[in-house]
Amino acid sequence: MTTVRVRNATKSFGRTTALDDVDLDAGRGVTGLLGPNGAGKTTLLRIMATVLAPDRGTVTLLGRDPQRPDDRTRIRERLGYLPQDAGFHRGFTVFEFIDYVAILKQMTDRRARHDEVRRVIELTGLSPVSGKRIRALSGGMRRRVGLAQALLGDPDLLVLDEPTVGLDPEQRLRFREMISHAGEGRTVVLSSHQTEDIAALCTRIAVFHRGRVRFTGTPGELTAQAAGRVWAGTQRSAAALAAWRTGDGVYRNVGDPPAGAELIPPTLEDAYLLLMGENELEVTHS
């Protein structure tokens, strides 16, 4: 079943076209949006979170139309949303803040609501700081508070904008576990600049570039696009779209290999860089 269905969505801000005729489907499991800064990921996620409406195109969320007030309320009852730059009432404690969002989520019975708040606090490992004021938390801890509020009420659709940004490697691993767990039986749509996170978490990915979808498929399919196009060398190759020196002093080149190059297996990141490099060329040549 598709939980999220976007067709021909276009959204402009003044003269910037943030989304240009975008189609996207997402169902159970974790769908990842990849793309450079300004590609339109946040704009699309905000549309999926019912916060923004596209200028043109249709959106169906959980089988309903977010443009209709009644439907929108029904969607919001089953939605969890972590914005990219989630702000907090910094004077509230962690418990108070999550409880505040639970009130906005219409959990009216105080005791049941408090139980639910405690559940998500536990789930995100925030119990030791639950009585601390948000202003006293580190950035990574705040990110966890953001995730905790999104998990309130066990939503059917979770929209997470860069959930792992600013987390240390251990926390990122924990977040991955929590998110992949959430993706069992639910629809999770997230964005990330971390190709490893995407490779580890997502069942499907969509790659964005300048407001357009340039690829949709599985991480394996994207990686396969770079097969035969990544090679190692002792120097930066002029033929490469992207090249960088790795820790062991060898240059990793991505693009069309020169004759006799030593090919190496691609990663998701190679394939992503290749796709972006090709799209950039296409844009500058047209």
Partner 1 sequence: MTGWHLDPEAIRRYAEGAAPPDLAASAEAHLMKCATCREAIASQVDTRRVEAIWHEVADRVDAPRPSLPERMLTRLGVGEATARLVAATPTLRGPWLLGIAAVLALSAGAAQADERLLRMFLVAAPLGPLAGVAVAFAGGLDPTREIGLATPYPGLRLLLIRTTAVLAVTVPIVAAAGLMLPGSHWVAAAWLLPTAGLTCAALALTARMTPVVAVGVVATAWVLVTTATALAGDLDLTSGIGAQLFWLAVTAGGGLWLVATRDTVTIKLGRSA
Ligand X SMILES: Nc1ncnc2c1ncn2[C@@H]1O[C@H](COP(=O)(O)OP(=O)(O)OP(=O)(O)O)[C@@H](O)[C@H]1O
- Number of chain residues interacting with partner 1 (CB under 8 A): 44
Alpha-helical regions (H) of the chain: 41-48, 69-77, 94-104, 110-123, 139-151, 169-182, 195-201, 219-224, 268-285
Angle at 115 between CA 110 and CA 120, to 5 degrees: 125
Which CB, 19 or 226, lies closer to partner 1? 19
92 binds, among ligand X, Mg ion, partner 1, none (CB under 5 to 8 A by kind): partner 1
The sheet carrying 240-245 orders its strands as: 240-245, 251-255, 230-233, 262-263
Q: Is 42 in the site for Mg ion (CB under 5 A)?
A: yes
- Closer CB to ligand X, residue 19 or residue 121? 19
3 state DSSP class of 162: coil
Out of 65, 77, 122, 184, the residue judged to bind partner 1 by CB under 8 A: 77
Taking the least distance from each CB to ligand X, the nearer of 13 and 244 is 13
**Interface residues for partner 1 in 8-27 (CB under 8 A)?**
none
Tokens at residue 89, please?
């009432």
Is residue 141 a contact residue for ligand X (CB under 6 A)? no
Among 39, 134, 147, 152, binds ligand X (CB under 6 A): 39
- Closest Cα to residue 86, out of 123, 50, 46? 46
The whole-angstrom separation of Cα 254 and Cα 252 is: 7
φ/ψ of residue 86, rounded to 5: -60, 125
Residue 135 makes contact with partner 1 by CB under 8 A: no
Interface residues with Mg ion (CB under 5 A) are 41-42, 84
Interface residues with ligand X (CB under 6 A) are 13, 16, 18, 35, 37-43, 84
Interface residues with partner 1 (CB under 8 A) are 46, 49-53, 66, 69, 72-74, 76-77, 79, 81, 83, 85-93, 95-96, 99-101, 103-106, 108, 110-111, 114-115, 118, 130-131, 149, 159
